Structure 1
Amino acid sequence: MSCRPLLMIVLLLLLTACGAWESPEQPDVSQTPWASLLAPVFTATSEPSPVATLITPTATASLPPLATATPSPTETPQAPTGTPAPPVRFFLQPGTPRGVPNFLKPELGCNWMGLAGQIFDLNGEPLTGLVIEVGGSLEGKGIQALGVAGGEAALGPGGYSIQLADHPVYSDGSLWMQVYRESIPVTGRIFIPTFDSCEQNLILVNLVESSALEPQMRLPLILKSSP
């Protein structure tokens, strides 16, 4: 029989008797490499920093401003500017215009139509050098003609004549005449009627200068050659 077991028992008894038996010291888990593996790991997570957001104001519908009545400026009367129209100095002699047979151009007879006459001053004397303009239309065709006081000797001093057509034509308000002295009008437009008759294919138009006295009737003087 071996003595080893007996020695072990004796040794245990001695240790117990001496109070030398102590519980084995528990290992410090935190000091072992396993501690880092078994202990929970907390990772610090950085929270996102708040980002400042620029709030753009939303455009709101605005009502248009109410229109306010603006008083209109008061017009100040002003004197008319520009060159004033020259005064009318000559007017129709009573009894004219008048249609008569063509005695100025007897060789043409009814194949001619025109107007003729004289222009008298305040003293009743015939004037020369005045320009007579005729305008308007006959039978839808434009008429533009000129005559000169003193150009028709058959009517006497200051006589004029202007051919309008080669046959009698009726018109009422489409033909006018106007008299000028040195390019300045001395009458307004005088509207002349015409007739479609060979007994009225010469229209006599006499003019007189304005006066406080009523002008006397004057007919063109017909000059005839001596036999």
Structure 2
Amino acid sequence: MNKQSNKALLFLLFILSITTMACTSPFLPGMFGYQSPPTPTIASEPGPVISTPIVVIEEIIPTTTPSLPEPTETPQPTLAPTPTVVVYDYQLQEGSPAYIENIHHPELGDNWMGVGGQVFDSEGNPVERIVVMAAGTLGGEAIEVLGMTGAARQYGPGGFELQLAQRLIQSSGTVTITLLDLAGNVLSESVAIDTFDDPARATIVVNFVATLTD
């Protein structure tokens, strides 16, 4: 080969080497080819932060509906029963009882103690055939003595008399006197009397009068 051929061959090999290096090493400065600048990275600007509200759903546990108490009736005040006023046919005469000595049985002296008197209607007239009852206790013993108006005229027209004891006995309200009709119906309130161990008060005088009504 001649020298020109050798130069041409060397030049060709050089060019080929440079081309190969340029292809494999793009970062070598001043070599063949243009190195494109790196693509700039554009940092994305942060957008507005949108906070998503968290919805908390509370579980509602149904409770038993309280039952309302049954309405109760307001108790009405209990009215005290009005006492029945009993109007009897006869009532105690004003001034009774009165006490006197044993003038109707002087022979018995202190061995007699009793009750005597009269019963009058609304016009002041003596009423006969009314039963007079003395009942209660006297000297620790129960007594019940019955008499009738008109049977003891020594006390006046329509008079009555009941012997309570054969001796003088002190007592306070343990004996009552009551008027009855012949059928046993009560005609007067039971009047309590006192008795005394005193000869001057051996006889208890009790008179009744008819009750005046409107």
Q: TM-score, normalised by structure 2?
A: 0.59
Shift of 1:109: 1.6
Q: How does 1:4-15 map to 2 (within 5 A)?
A: none
Alpha-carbon distance in structure 2 between the residues aligned to 1:70 and 1:195: 66
- Structure 1 residue 102, shift from structure 2 partner: 0.6
Distance 1:134 1:73 in 2: 51
Alpha-carbon distance change, 97 to 73 in structure 1, aligned in 2, over 3 angstroms = same
Q: 1:99·1:194 contact (CA, 8 Å) conserved in 2?
A: no
> What is the aligned residue count?
142
Code of the aligned partner of 2:173: G
User: Which residue matches 1:133?
Assistant: 133
- Whether 1:197 aligns to 2:203 is no
Q: CA deviation at 1:71?
A: 4.7
Partner Cα separation in structure 2 for residue 75 and residue 134 of structure 1: 45
Distance change (3 Å), C-alpha of 1:71 and 1:119:
same
Q: 1:72 to 1:135 in 2, by over 3 A?
A: farther
How far off is 1:211 after superposition? 2.3
- Structure 2 runs not aligned, ≥5 long: 1-68
Larger helix proportion of the pair: 2
Change (3 A) 1:196 1:85: same
1:76-112: CA deviation from partner (whole Å, max 9, x where unpaired): 99xx9xxx88631211112111110011112112110
Letter in 1 for 2:197: D
| Alignment RMSD (CA, Å) | 2.8
What secondary structure, in the 3-state scheme, does the structure 1 residue paired with 2:154 have? helix
Contact persistence 1:86–1:185 (CA under 8 A): no
Contact 1:87/1:186 (CA < 8 Å) preserved in 2?
no
Counterparts in 2 of 1:191 and 1:75: CA distance versus 1, 3 Å:
same
Q: 1:194 to 1:73 in 2, by over 3 A?
A: same
Q: Which has the larger radius of gyration?
A: 2
Deviation for aligned residue 1:161: 0.3
Pairs within 5 Å for 1:103-182:
103-182=103-182
Same amino acid, percent of matched pairs: 32
Report the TM-score when normalising by structure 1: 0.56
